[in-house]
Amino acid sequence: MRHLLKLLPKVDTLLSHQDLQNLPQATLKRVITSTLNTLRDEILAQKIDENQLQIRLEQLVPTIKAQCKLAQEPTLKRIINATGVILQTNFGRSIFSQSLLDEITPFLQSYHTLEYDLHTGKRGERYIHTKETLCEMLGCEDALLVNNNASAVLLILNTFARNKEVIISRGELVEIGGSFRIPEVMKCASSILREVGSTNKTHLKDYQEAINEQSAMIMKTHQSNFKQIGFVQSCDMRALTHLAQEHGLIDYYDLGSGHLGVLDLPNEPSVKEILKHKPSLISFSGDKLLGGPQAGIIIGKSALIKQLKQNQLLRALRVDKFTILALEATLKAYKERQWHKIPTLAMLQIPQEALQQKTQSLYESLKNIPHIQCEMINLQSIAGGGSLPEETFASFGVSLYHTQIPTKTLESLLREKGLITSTKQNRILLDVRTLLEDDEKRIVEILNHIAHQENKGNNDRFS
C-alpha cells in the first residue's frame, strides 16, 4: 500500500503542470486536493491495485482539467421545458413575461414607498399594496403576504394554535415536494396534531367529536398532488367553517395552489367561490396556478390577520419588494385580462390550433436532421407543481428517435444540453405547450449538434 501512496504526485507538482495553467488557482487547488484524497482513500481501502492506479494517474491531469472547467460553469442554467408540465418546482414554477418585468424594473431601479407614507412622512405598511388589490379583486376583508405558502401555514398555526390542538382529517396529512409535510410543520409551529377520520373517509361527526377545550382550529388541506378515488369521503369547507364558528374555533383552509377563477376547472372551486362561505382564513401559493412570484397569500378576517401581523415570526417570513412588485403586476394583469403577461395562464389556455401550428413548425425543423426520425402526435399536458393531479390538457408535440443512439442515452444527452424531455415507449416526446419563443431554434441546434457528433464517428460515447 505504501509504495502505491508514494506514486501519487505532490499537489505543488500538479499546480505547476503545464496543462493546468490559466485555471483559477483556488478552484484548481480544491480539485487537485480532492482528487488526490479520493485516490488516497481508495488505495488505503485497497479498492485499486497498481495497474488500475497507473491508468488513473495517466488520466489525472485531463481529469483535473475537466473538473475545473465543470466547476467554473454556473450552477443556475436556463433550460428548455419540453415536458408539457407547466409548473415544475424544480424548474422554478411560474416564469415571468418581459412585459411584466418591464413594469416592475423601474421600481427595482429606484427607491419607492415600500414602507413609507408620503402624506405623514412616517413609516407605512409593506403589506398594504397587495392587500388593496386582493380585497378589490376577491372581495375579502383583509390579506397578508408571506414568503411562500409553507410560511403561511407555519405562521397561522403558530399564531393561533401554539400548544393547542388542530383538528385535521387523516386523509389530508399531505406531503408536498419532499420537504413540506403537514405533521412536521405542525411540530415546528408547536401545534398539537389531532387527526380524525380514516385515510379514505372523514365525516363531519369525526371533527365534531374531537372538539375539546384544547382545540384551537379546524384545518383543511388541499390534497394537491394526489387524488383518492373509490370509497372516499371528505368534509367540504363550508360545513367545517360552520362547525368551527359554532364552537368559537378558527377554520383554516390550506388551499395549496389556489386559482383565481380564470381557468375553467369544474372540480376546483376558485378562491372567490371559497370565500363565499366566509372562512376564517385561507392561504395559497403565489407561483402555482396563480402564475406570479413565490409567495404565500393569506386571506381572511381582519381581526385574525391583525393577530398574524403581531407574531414576531412574520418578520422572519417577510416578503421582499420584488415579490410585492411582481405580485402586484401579476394581479394587475388579471384585472386587465392580459393573460399574455402571465405565462402560466397563457400556457394553460393556448388554443388547440396554436399548439398544432407550433407542432407543425417544430416538426418541419426537425425532420431533416440526420438520423432523426420524427412524427407529430397528440399529447396530454399537466399543470404540475402540486396542483390539479387528475386534470390533463390536450396538447400536441413531436415524438422522435435517433437511428443510432438509444433513446435513454439521447434523453440524457439532450438533458445535459438543457433540453428536458419525457420518454415513452422508446421515443423522446417534445410537448410544445411549455416551449417558449426561441426554444424551437435551440432544440434544432442541440439535435443538429448531436447528429454532427454522431457523424464524426463518435459511436462509443453513445453505446
Ligand X SMILES: *Cc1c(COP(=O)(O)O)cnc(C)c1O
Q: Which C-beta is closer to ligand X: that of 297 or that of 443? A: 297
Give min distance, CB of 172 to ligand X, in A: 8
Should residue 169 be labelled a site residue for ligand X when binding is judged by CB under 6 A?
A: no
Q: Which C-beta is closer to ligand X: that of 133 or that of 224? A: 224
Stretch that binds ligand X, among 221-229, 321-329, 342-350, 357-365 (CB under 6 A): 221-229
Give min distance, CB of 245 to ligand X, in A: 22
Residue of the chain from 103, 142, 254, 439 that contacts ligand X (CB under 6 A): 254
Q: What are the angstrom distances between the C-alpha of 169 and each of 100, 342, 408?
A: 40, 35, 42
Q: Which of residues 275-304 bind ligand X (CB under 6 A)?
A: 285, 296
Stretch that binds ligand X, among 54-62, 109-117, 173-181, 424-432 (CB under 6 A): 173-181
Stretch that binds ligand X, among 132-140, 218-226, 237-245, 419-427 (CB under 6 A): 218-226
Give min distance, CB of 177 to ligand X, in A: 7
- The label of the residue with cell 406531503 reads 175
Should residue 150 be labelled a site residue for ligand X when binding is judged by CB under 6 A?
A: yes
Give min distance, CB of 205 to ligand X, in A: 24
DSSP 245: H
Give min distance, CB of 294 to ligand X, in A: 6
Residue of the chain from 31, 39, 176, 240 that contacts ligand X (CB under 6 A): 176
Should residue 91 be labelled a site residue for ligand X when binding is judged by CB under 6 A?
A: no
Q: Are 171 and 228 contacting, i.e. CB atoms less than 8 angstroms apart?
A: yes
Q: Which C-beta is closer to ligand X: that of 91 or that of 180? A: 180
Question: 311 — phi, psi (to 5°)?
Answer: -75, 125
Q: Which C-beta is closer to ligand X: that of 83 or that of 147? A: 147
Q: Which C-beta is closer to ligand X: that of 148 or that of 191? A: 148
Should residue 434 be labelled a site residue for ligand X when binding is judged by CB under 6 A?
A: no
DSSP 270: -
Should residue 221 be labelled a site residue for ligand X when binding is judged by CB under 6 A?
A: yes
What does the alpha-carbon distance between residue 436 and residue 91 come to, in Å, rounded to a whole number? 14
What does the alpha-carbon distance between residue 147 and residue 170 come to, in Å, rounded to a whole number? 27
Should residue 133 be labelled a site residue for ligand X when binding is judged by CB under 6 A?
A: no
Of 257, 18, 286, 36, nearest in space to 146 by CA? 286
Binding residues for ligand X, rule CB under 6 A, total 16
Stretch that binds ligand X, among 20-28, 254-262, 337-345, 397-405 (CB under 6 A): 254-262
**Count of CB atoms within 10 A of residue 174's CB?**
18
Residue of the chain from 279, 291, 386, 397 that contacts ligand X (CB under 6 A): 386
Of 222, 228, 170, 264, nearest in space to 386 by CA? 222
| Burial class, 453, CB count within 10 angstroms (exposed 0-12 / middle 13-18 / buried 19+) | middle
Strands 250-256, 281-285: parallel, antiparallel or unpaired by DSSP? parallel
Of 295, 292, 297, 298, nearest in space to 334 by CA? 292
- The label of the residue with cell 382545540 reads 215
Residue of the chain from 180, 262, 313, 444 that contacts ligand X (CB under 6 A): 180
Q: In one letter, which amino acid is 102?
A: D
Q: Which C-beta is closer to ligand X: that of 257 or that of 381? A: 257
Should residue 323 be labelled a site residue for ligand X when binding is judged by CB under 6 A?
A: no
Give min distance, CB of 385 to ligand X, in A: 7
Half-sphere exposure of 19 (CA within 13 A, CB side): 11
Q: Report DSSP letters for 384-448, one per residue.
A: ESSS-SS--EEEEEEEEEESSS-HHHHHHHHHHTTEE-EEETTEEEEEGGG--TTHHHHHHHHHH
Residue of the chain from 126, 194, 222, 417 that contacts ligand X (CB under 6 A): 222
Should residue 224 be labelled a site residue for ligand X when binding is judged by CB under 6 A?
A: yes
Give min distance, CB of 260 to ligand X, in A: 16
Q: Are 194 and 216 contacting, i.e. CB atoms less than 8 angstroms apart?
A: no
Tell me, letter by letter, the H, E, C secondary structure of 345-358: HHHHHCCHHHHHHH
- Name the closest residue to ligand X (Cβ): 256
Give min distance, CB of 82 to ligand X, in A: 24
Q: Are 260 and 271 contacting, i.e. CB atoms less than 8 angstroms apart?
A: yes
Give min distance, CB of 149 to ligand X, in A: 3
Strand partners, 220: 253
Q: Which C-beta is closer to ligand X: that of 39 or that of 156? A: 156
Residue of the chain from 149, 280, 323, 344 that contacts ligand X (CB under 6 A): 149
What does the alpha-carbon distance between residue 225 and residue 179 come to, in Å, rounded to a whole number? 14
Residues in contact with ligand X by the rule CB under 6 A: 148-150, 153, 174, 176, 180, 221-222, 224, 254, 256-257, 285, 296, 386
